[in-house]
């Protein structure tokens, strides 16, 4: 049986859940959405004794992607120049990744660098995270290129900022699309099944069944 473990680390002033996913037996894993506070992420990786194979991004917002370039470079330094690849999001979030430094100025954040992935991801493909295969769903609305990752074997979803425990992702951006977000949730995510557990970008996780029954934004 796969032995996937998840450690959540709230980072940046936005308290975004950076997720360290790893195989408990091999201690190999991935960092999902390293938005910032890279020093803290490195400390957590050391404490857990994890070898990072890749960085994965659900979407291009600063609290999810703002620390990716620095984390990659710091990990490369430690590994004799061998940088872990960055995978995701979907190409429609390129403008956000290319605008991270500008977003940082707006929020008064330092240490943020623009970043582009080594591999863009798309719906229909799979991505390996901590030794597990995850199906990729393109779920626009919060951002145009937002991705959600689903492991059928583990009944587990990495949700990003699409659906939260009791809430949904913001769409009050110039590029936000509330109707598209609701469509993404109802047509792609909820059909995965009530028993599916998820972690998300902010706050505690939940299950799809709980959200289908009680999330006020899905009525
Ligand atoms: Zn976001």
pTM of the model: 0.97
How close is the Cα of 59 to the center of ligand 1, in Å?
7
> Of 8, 89, 90, whose CA–CA distance to 55 is shortest?
89
How close is the Cα of 163 to the center of ligand 1, in Å?
11
10-residue stretch averages of pLDDT, the chain, 219 residues long? 89 96 96 97 98 98 97 95 96 98 91 96 98 97 98 97 98 97 98 98 98 96
Q: Which two tokens stand for residue 110?
A: 């330092």
Q: What per-residue confidence (pLDDT) applies to 1?
A: 58
- CA 181 centroid distance within chain: 16
């Amino acid at each position: 049986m796969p032995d996937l473990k998840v450690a959540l680390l709230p980072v940046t002033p936005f308290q975004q859940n950076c997720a360290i996913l790893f195989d408990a037996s091999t201690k190999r894993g991935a960092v999902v959405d390293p938005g910032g506070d890279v020093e803290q992420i490195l400390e957590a990786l050391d404490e857990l004794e994890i070898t990072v194979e890749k960085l994965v991004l659900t979407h291009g917002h600063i609290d999810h992607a703002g620390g990716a370039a620095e984390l990659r470079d710091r990990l490369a330094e430690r590994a004799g120049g061998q940088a872990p690849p960055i995978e995701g999001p979907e190409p429609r979030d390129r403008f956000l990744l290319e605008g991270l430094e500008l977003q940082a100025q707006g929020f008064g954040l330092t240490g943020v660098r623009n970043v582009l992935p080594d591999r863009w991801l798309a719906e229909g493909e799979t991505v390996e995270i901590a030794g597990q295969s995850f199906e990729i769903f393109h779920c626009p609305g919060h951002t145009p290129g937002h991705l959600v990752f689903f492991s059928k074997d583990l009944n587990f979803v990495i949700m990003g900022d699409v659906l939260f425990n009791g809430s949904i992702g913001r769409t009050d951006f110039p590029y936000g699309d509330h109707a598209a977000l609701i469509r993404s949730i109802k047509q792609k995510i909820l059909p995965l099944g009530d028993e599916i557990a998820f972690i998300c970008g902010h706050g505690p996780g939940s299950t799809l069944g709980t959200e289908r029954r009680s999330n006020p934004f899905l009525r």
